[in-house]
Structure 1
Amino acid sequence: MPAAYSLDLRQKAIAALEAGHSKASVSRLMGIGTTTLTEWHNRYRASGEVAAKQGYQQGHSHKITDWEAFRAFAAMHGDKTQAEMAQLWPEEISEDTIGRALKRIGFTRKKRRISMLKETPKTAKPTTLS
């Protein structure tokens, strides 16, 4: 999100509007969009303030906040699919969120290939394609 316009610029723009200049001329002079200028002017007339709004950015609410509990949950239900784990989680959560959380804690479910489990004789020569 871009930074808010400075309070000084806002005050100068409102002062120019209050002095009788048109929104179009103030907009061109200060490099501000007319919609932005209108919003500032409406806010100034309603509350007397032109400062940028503060504290409305709440951020993303995360579904998993207790990572130790999730690690224990993953260890207990690691044999299940992500969809099954999502159904078992106490809150409503998607399987994609479960997948991202498993990745975040470093949980993997890699299986060894059966061919790797078989012992290869040291005398066996690799086959070549002719």
Structure 2
Amino acid sequence: MPAPYSYDLRQKVINAIELDGIPKTEASQVFHVSRNTINLWLQRKEHTGDFLPKLNRPPGHSHQITDWHKFKAFA
């Protein structure tokens, strides 16, 4: 899986759009990031307040046994 874009790049792109008023299409060409990606970052900022990348964990990574008595009875 490819690595996510750096937080620094995300911040530069978002600041260019919001503070400098650069259109999304121009920002995507200047920073070599797709317009769809910029839209996703802006949506994430709207929903969560920040545009941090999602954690890149494989499925089932955080499964842990929480109730040892039930586990012992099961095993």
Q: TM-score, normalised by structure 1?
A: 0.42
- In structure 1, distance between residues paired with 2:58 and 2:50: 19
Runs of 4+ in 1 over 3 A off after TM superposition: none
After the TM superposition, which residues 77-92 of structure 1 pair with which residues of structure 2 at under 5 Å, given as runs? none
Please, what is the CA RMSD of the aligned residues? 1.8
Give 1:47 deviation, angstroms: 1.4
What is the deviation of 1:57? 3.0
- Identity over the aligned pairs, expressed in percent? 37
Matched, 1:50 2:51: yes
Higher relative contact order (CA 8 A, sep 6+): 2
Residue of structure 2 in register with 1:8 after alignment: 8
Equivalence map 1:104-115=2 (5 Å): none
The alpha-carbon deviation at position 23 of structure 1 amounts to 0.5
Q: Deviation of residue 46 (structure 1)? A: 1.6
Question: For 1:24, what is the secondary structure of its paired residue?
Answer: helix
Amino acid at match of 1:5: Y
The equivalences for 1:1-130 within 5 A come to 1-19=1-19, 20-58=21-59
Residue type at the aligned position of 2:47: A
Matches of 1:24 and 1:34, distance apart in 2: 6
Instruction: Kindly provide the amino acid, as one letter, of the partner of residue 10 in structure 1.
Output: R
Give 1 or 2: higher helix fraction: 2
**Largest Rg, 1 or 2:** 1
Q: Per-residue CA shift, 1:13-61, capped at 9, x if unaligned?
A: 11111121110011000000000010001111221111110155316xx
The count of corresponding residues between Structure 1 and Structure 2 is 60
Q: Normalising to structure 2: TM-score of the pair?
A: 0.71
Amino acid at match of 2:25: A
